[in-house]
Amino acid sequence: AQSVTQPDIHITVSEGASLELRCNYSYGATPYLFWYVQSPGQGLQLLLKYFSGDTLVQGIKGFEAEFKRSQSSFNLRKPSVHWSDAAEYFCAVGARTNAGKSTFGDGTTLTVKP
Amino acid sequence: DVKVTQSSRYLVKRTGEKVFLECVQDMDHENMFWYRQDPGLGLRLIYFSYDVKMKEKGDIPEGYSVSREKKERFSLILESASTNQTSMYLCASSLGQGTPGNEQFFGPGTRLTVL
């Protein structure tokens, strides 16, 4: 069975500082990997995804993530955080043979200090 | 853009009531999902549908049922609401199996309170 771990429940960074959110997955083969963002009171929105090819993936809002097979990780990064990035972030893993289902991590809440 | 809409943003019901949560997507997606979201527990899959009239239990189906009579509509039913079903409910849709990297598109959520 696939699983996702987001080790950090809550992260606080200063505006303009760099950000890295951690995600580790468990899956026997090459998975589909996703990062979603949820603003307060809203549904989830896709930031970026990996399913093949280049292991460094660019997404919306200046985010990127790197798939590292050897570490079973898919960490999300942003070089300079803006106050509007404050939200909850979810990493998800999808099996290639699982009819479109994904397993989500528990989420990391990002607070941005002025 | 894909749009997923949910019938209510906020809902208050009483214990024992039958509750219907409706979800509609406008992009002809094969897959539709119902999740509940609780603090510290992330998203937990309740039910999944991969085609009209087809459904599959998720991780926490107890106390819930679903209906998919039309491709664009997926309903979640709480047969007899209980206070432990107070939660945020999220609907999502995606393209079918065989589409590489098929991400899910989410509705805005329904916050259900059962008194």
pLDDT tens, residue order, chain B (115 aa): 669 999 999 999 999 999 999 999 998 999 999 999 998 888 999 999 988 989 999 999 999 999 999 999 999 999 999 999 999 999 999 987 666 667 899 999 999 999 9
Q: Which of B29, B99, B104, B111 to mutate to test the interface with A (most CBs of A within 10 A)?
A: B104
- B73 by Cβ neighbours in 10 Å (0-12 / 13-18 / 19+) ranks as middle
Q: In this structure, is the dihedral angle defined by the CA atoms of residues B38, B43, B44 and B49, taken in order, positive or negative?
A: positive
How many beta-carbon pairs under 8 angstroms link A with B? 67
Q: Is B40 in Cβ contact with A42 (below 8 Å)? A: no
Nearest CA to A10 out of A108, A114, A77 is that of A108
- B1 by Cβ neighbours in 10 Å (0-12 / 13-18 / 19+) ranks as exposed
| Chain B CA closest to residue A100 | B97
- Exposure on the CB side of residue A3, measured as CA atoms within 13 A: 4
Q: Is A42 in Cβ contact with B108 (below 8 Å)? A: yes
- Give me the pLDDT at residue A29, please: 78
- Exposure on the CB side of residue B63, measured as CA atoms within 13 A: 14
* CA distances from residue A23 to A26, A34, A71, B88, B98 in whole angstroms, order as listed: 10, 10, 10, 24, 25
Does B42 lie at the interface with A, CB-CB under 8 angstroms?
A: yes
Q: Nearest C-alpha of chain A: how many angstroms from B40?
A: 6
Written as six digits, the tokens of A89 are: 């972030």
Q: Is A107 in Cβ contact with B100 (below 8 Å)? A: no
Q: Is A43 in Cβ contact with B90 (below 8 Å)? A: yes
* Cβ neighbour number for residue A14 with a 10 Å cutoff: 10
- B49 by Cβ neighbours in 10 Å (0-12 / 13-18 / 19+) ranks as buried
Check pLDDT > 70 for residue A99.
no
Kindly report, residue by residue over A18-72, the tens digit of the pLDDT: 999 999 999 877 789 999 999 988 889 999 999 888 899 999 999 999 999 999 9
